[in-house]
Chain A
Amino acid sequence: MTPDGERTMARRTESPPASSHAPQGFAEAQRALLARPRISIRLRLAVGLLLCFLLCAAYAWTSCRPGRGPAPASLPILLLALLFFAFVVITLLFDRALMGPIRRFETYTERISRGDFRPIGPSRWFRDEFTDLAVAVNRMLEELEAQQRHMVQAAKMTTVGTLTSGIAHELNNPLNNIAITTEALMEDFKRLSDAEKWKLLQDIYFETERAGEIVKSLLDFTREQRAEWGPVDLREVVESTRRILQNEMALGDVRFEASFPPGLPPIRGSLNPLRQVFLNLFVNALHAMPEGGRLTVEAEAFPGKVCVEVRDTGSGIPPEVLPHVFDPFFTTKEPGKGTGLGLSVSQSIVRKHGGEIQVFSEPGKGTTFHLCLPTALPPPENP
Chain B
Amino acid sequence: MTERKRVLVLDDEPIVGERLKPVLEREGFDVEVFTESEGALRRLGETTFSVIVTDLKMKGPSGMDILRFVKERAPHTAVIVITGYATIETHREAEAHGACHFVAKPFKMQDLARLVARAAK
Q: Do A and B bind each other?
A: yes
A interface list, Cβ under 8 A from B: 166, 169-173, 175-181, 183-184, 187-188, 203, 207, 250-251, 253
B interface list, Cβ under 8 A from A: 13, 15-16, 19-20, 22-23, 57-60, 84-86, 104-110
Q: Is the CB of B57 within 8 A of A251?
A: yes
Q: How far is the CA of A184 from the CA of B16 in the complex (A)?
A: 11
Residue in A172, A250, A251 whose beta carbon sits within 8 Å of that of B106 in the complex: A172
Q: How far is the CA of A253 from the CA of B38 in the complex (A)?
A: 14
Q: Which of A166, A176, A184 has the most B CB atoms < 10 Å from its CB?
A: A176
Task: Using known A-B contacts A173-B13, A184-B19, A250-B59, determine if residue A179 contacts B106 with beta carbons closer than 8 Å.
Answer: yes
Residue in A172, A177, A187 whose beta carbon sits within 8 Å of that of B15 in the complex: A177
Nearest-neighbour CB distance to chain B for A337, whole angstroms, equals: 15
Q: Is the CB of A176 within 8 A of B105?
A: yes
Task: Using known A-B contacts A169-B84, A184-B23, A251-B59, determine if residue A176 contacts B108 with beta carbons closer than 8 Å.
Answer: no
Q: Is the CB of B108 within 8 A of A179?
A: yes
Q: Is the CB of B15 within 8 A of A181?
A: yes
Task: Using known A-B contacts A173-B13, A177-B13, A177-B16, determine if residue A183 contacts B59 with beta carbons closer than 8 Å.
Answer: no
Secondary structure class of chain A's binding surface, majority of residues: helix
Residues of B within 8 A of A176 (CB): 13, 16, 84, 105-107
Residues of A within 8 A of B110 (CB): 183, 187
Q: How far is the CA of A316 from the CA of B35 in the complex (A)?
A: 34
Q: Which of A166, A170, A180, A203 has the most B CB atoms < 10 Å from its CB?
A: A180
Q: Which of B57, B58, B86, B106 has the most A CB atoms < 10 Å from its CB?
A: B106
Residues of B within 8 A of A183 (CB): 19, 108-110
Q: How far is the CA of A187 from the CA of B107 in the complex (A)?
A: 15
Which 10 pairs from chain A and chain B are nearest by CB?
A: A172-B84, A176-B105, A176-B106, A179-B106, A177-B15, A169-B85, A172-B105, A180-B19, A175-B106, A173-B84
Residues of A within 8 A of B23 (CB): 184, 187
A-B contact pairs, 16 of them (CB 8 A): A169-B84, A169-B86, A172-B106, A173-B84, A176-B16, A176-B84, A176-B106, A179-B107, A180-B20, A181-B15, A181-B19, A187-B23, A203-B15, A251-B58, A253-B59, A253-B60
Q: How far is the CA of A182 from the CA of B117 in the complex (A)?
A: 22
Q: Is the CB of A180 within 8 A of B16?
A: yes
Residues of B within 8 A of A169 (CB): 84-86
Nearest-neighbour CB distance to chain A for B104, whole angstroms, equals: 8
Q: How far is the CA of A177 from the CA of B107 in the complex (A)?
A: 9
Nearest to A200 among chain B residues (CB) is: B19
Residues of A within 8 A of B107 (CB): 176, 179-180
Q: How far is the CA of A253 from the CA of B109 in the complex (A)?
A: 30
Residues of A within 8 A of B59 (CB): 250-251, 253
Nearest to A183 among chain B residues (CB) is: B109
Q: How far is the CA of A173 from the CA of B19 in the complex (A)?
A: 14
Residues of A within 8 A of B106 (CB): 172, 175-176, 178-180
Residues of A within 8 A of B108 (CB): 179-180, 183
Q: How far is the CA of A183 from the CA of B22 in the complex (A)?
A: 12
Residues of B within 8 A of A181 (CB): 15, 19
Residues of A within 8 A of B86 (CB): 169, 172
Nearest to A166 among chain B residues (CB) is: B85
Nearest to B55 among chain A residues (CB) is: A173
Residues of B within 8 A of A207 (CB): 15
Q: How far is the CA of A175 from the CA of B108 in the complex (A)?
A: 11
Q: How far is the CA of A184 from the CA of B108 in the complex (A)?
A: 10
Extra inter-chain contacts (16) besides given A177-B13, A207-B15, A251-B58, CB under 8 Å? A172-B105, A175-B105, A176-B13, A176-B16, A178-B106, A179-B106, A180-B106, A180-B108, A183-B108, A183-B109, A184-B19, A184-B22, A184-B109, A187-B110, A250-B59, A251-B59
Q: How far is the CA of A332 from the CA of B97 in the complex (A)?
A: 32
Q: How far is the CA of A166 from the CA of B85 in the complex (A)?
A: 8
Q: How far is the CA of A176 from the CA of B59 in the complex (A)?
A: 19
Q: Which of A172, A175, A178, A250 has the most B CB atoms < 10 Å from its CB?
A: A172
Q: How far is the CA of A184 from the CA of B110 in the complex (A)?
A: 10
Residues of B within 8 A of A172 (CB): 84-86, 104-106
Q: How far is the CA of A177 from the CA of B84 in the complex (A)?
A: 11
Q: How far is the CA of A176 from the CA of B15 in the complex (A)?
A: 9
Residues of A within 8 A of B85 (CB): 166, 169, 172
Q: How far is the CA of A169 from the CA of B108 in the complex (A)?
A: 17
Q: Which of B84, B104, B108 has the most A CB atoms < 10 Å from its CB?
A: B84
Residues of B within 8 A of A187 (CB): 23, 109-110
